[in-house]
Amino acid sequence: MTALRDILLRRIALDGPMSVAEYMTLCLLHPEHGYYTTRDPLGARGDFTTAPEISQMFGEMLGLWVAQVWMDQGAPAPFTLAELGPGRGTLMADALRATRSVPGFHEALRLHLVEASPVLRAAQAAALGGFAPVFHDSPVDLPDQPLFLIANEFFDALPVRQFQRKGLGWAERMVGATDGRLVMGLAPPAPLTALDHRMRDTVEDQIVETCAPARPVIEAIAQRIAAHGGAALIVDYGDWRSRGDTLQALRQHAYDDPLAHPGRADLTAHVDFEALALAAAPLRAAPLTPQGVFLERLGMSARADALAQGLSGARLESHIAAYRRLTHPQEMGQLFKVLGLAPVSAPELPGLA
Ligand code: SAH
Put residue 291 in one of left, alpha, beta given phi > 0 → left and psi -120 to 50 → alpha: alpha
pLDDT of residue 186: 97
Q: Mutate which of 117, 135, 155 to test ligand 1's pocket (most atoms within 8 Å of Cβ)?
A: 117
Per-residue pLDDT in tens (0 to 9) along the chain, 353 residues: 469 999 999 999 999 999 999 999 999 999 999 999 888 888 878 888 999 999 999 999 999 999 999 999 999 999 999 999 999 999 999 999 999 999 999 999 999 999 999 999 999 999 999 999 999 999 999 999 999 999 999 999 999 999 999 999 999 999 999 999 999 999 999 999 989 989 999 999 999 999 999 999 999 999 999 999 999 999 999 999 888 999 999 999 999 999 999 999 999 999 999 999 999 999 999 999 999 999 999 999 999 999 999 999 999 999 999 999 999 999 999 999 999 999 999 999 999 98
Q: How far is the CA of 323 from the centre of ligand 1 (A)?
A: 23
In a 13 Å sphere around the CA of 112, the CA atoms on its Cβ side amount to 23
For the CA of 85, the closest atom of ligand 1 is 11
Q: Which residues contact 306 (CB under 8 A, 6 or more apart)?
A: none
Q: How far is the CA of 191 from the centre of ligand 1 (A)?
A: 33
Q: How far is the CA of 117 from the centre of ligand 1 (A)?
A: 8
pLDDT of residue 45: 81
Residue closest via CA to ligand 1's atom 14 equals 85
H helix runs in 235-310, sequence order: 273-279, 291-297, 300-309
Q: How far is the CA of 249 from the centre of ligand 1 (A)?
A: 15
Q: Mutate which of 54, 61, 115, 236 to test ligand 1's pocket (most atoms within 8 Å of Cβ)?
A: 115
Q: How far is the CA of 153 from the centre of ligand 1 (A)?
A: 7
pLDDT of residue 2: 62
Degrees (nearest 5) of the Cα angle 115, 118, 123?
80
pLDDT of residue 47: 87
For the CA of 152, the closest atom of ligand 1 is 1
Is residue 150 within 8 A of residue 95, CB to CB? The reply is yes
Q: Which residues contact 62 (CB under 8 A, 6 or more apart)?
A: 91, 95, 150, 152, 233, 235
Residue closest via CA to ligand 1's atom 15 equals 117
Q: How far apart are CA 139 and CA 267, in angstroms?
A: 22
For the CA of 83, the closest atom of ligand 1 is 1
pTM of the model: 0.96
In a 13 Å sphere around the CA of 291, the CA atoms on its Cβ side amount to 31
Q: Could you check whether the bond before residue 189 is cis, i.e. omega within 30 degrees of 0?
A: no
Degrees (nearest 5) of the Cα angle 97, 305, 311?
85
Q: How far is the CA of 220 from the centre of ligand 1 (A)?
A: 17
Residue closest via CA to ligand 1's atom 11 equals 85
Is residue 272 within 8 A of residue 280, CB to CB? The reply is no
- Residue 135's CB is within 10 A of a number of other CB atoms, namely 15
Q: Which domains does the chain have, with CATH numbers?
A: 51-158+212-341 (3.40.50.12710)
Q: Mutate which of 22, 36, 152 to test ligand 1's pocket (most atoms within 8 Å of Cβ)?
A: 36
For the CA of 117, the closest atom of ligand 1 is 15
pLDDT of residue 46: 84
Pocket, ligand 1, Cβ cutoff 6 A: 36, 42, 50, 52-53, 85-87, 91, 114-117, 120, 152-154, 157
